[in-house]
Structure 1
């Protein structure tokens, strides 16, 4: 009898629609408000504003939760995150994750990239961000991100202006970086494909 009930319950759960499934189309509609800063298709054209296209879904969701909870602060983001609910967050994460990441510009300073690669290897950045720096799960994609934004993010971690998620690990890493290493690391990562 237990086997029969288990079989029936399994069938019910398998046939039931996933209540928490993200809706990419709804995320795209909600993302219209994001385009003003983060660009069409999630590729930023504004200084110090990150591109969101191709970021891991969970990473995006957590950042929105951190903004909404107030642990991450940004004057432009606060009024927006006050208007979104958990379903919107799931949908936005799925939408931006589904987009093609930005193409990195041609590397105009390969020597600086070499120094950046050395800084990344010395800090074991790939152990969290993956060997391709494409990120995974709740860890950010760094490859192809805006260079000046990466510099800003590292400075924000170093000065504890940015918290949330792996904030403690990032603060420790960023604190040990020299200005020259921050510049080189940002250049290297921004020019990865």
Structure 2
């Protein structure tokens, strides 16, 4: 809980942060997104669940990820060369473009619905896993001011992969180690259920 509170305080200081987002240009972002389309789709709805849907994601979050892929804070062998030549303006434009699009709806399988709903909305008090909706909202809409992502309609396989990456420390660009702490306490069943549940949120 302390990490969540600390992250909220840190997240609210967006304007004084070096990751403060200048307003991007949607039209310019569309032109610059052509190279991204192979993995993320022309409108940000990836044709493969290996890659995230970017459509409808908060511009502040997308910009942060692009900056951190470029700096190496978030490590990814595919994204690193893709962002190497991008300027701050390019990243702001791309973020604005994808934020302006709408994600295609997902669905949740019935067998994972109840557990996913339980963990997402209530957490697991025995293992210390907080409710996901505390940061990501009851409908998975996230919190742009804190750069916490929208999760609703995201591919189940992608969300699952990110939770595993946080759990094993492979991904470490979360504020104050918050997601690493949470994901490391989740069981495999809980990870699968939450990933499935958020894919069906609208």
Supply the distance in 2 between the matched residues of 1:48 and 1:176 (Cα, whole angstroms): 24
Specify the alignment match of 2:96 in structure 1.
94
Corresponding residue SS for 1:43: coil
The alignment's C-alpha RMSD in Å is 1.3
Question: Is 1:140 equivalent to 2:142 in the alignment?
Answer: no
Normalization by structure 2: what TM-score?
0.81
Supply the distance in 1 between the matched residues of 2:27 and 2:176 (Cα, whole angstroms): 31
Specify the alignment match of 1:63 in structure 2.
65
Specify the alignment match of 2:133 in structure 1.
126
* 8 Å Cα contact 1:157-1:167 kept in structure 2: no
Following TM superposition, the consecutive aligned residue runs of length 4 or more in structure 1 with deviations greater than 2 angstroms are none
* 8 Å Cα contact 2:63-2:91 kept in structure 1: yes
Specify the alignment match of 1:9 in structure 2.
none
Report the Cα offset of residue 167 of structure 1. Answer: 6.2
Supply the distance in 2 between the matched residues of 1:47 and 1:96 (Cα, whole angstroms): 17
* 8 Å Cα contact 2:174-2:180 kept in structure 1: no
Unaligned 5+ segments in structure 1 are 1-19
Question: Is 1:155 equivalent to 2:164 in the alignment?
Answer: yes
Specify the alignment match of 1:73 in structure 2.
75
* 8 Å Cα contact 2:45-2:54 kept in structure 1: yes
* 8 Å Cα contact 1:128-1:139 kept in structure 2: yes
Q: Which of 104, 107, 119 is matched with 2:106 structurally?
A: 104
Specify the alignment match of 2:38 in structure 1.
36
- Residue-by-residue CA offset, 1:81-136 (whole Å, 9 max, x unaligned): 1010000111111111110122113x3x3241110011112122111111211112
The worse-fitting range, judged by mean Cα deviation, of 87-96 and 38-47 is: 38-47
Unaligned 5+ segments in structure 2 are 1-21, 124-129
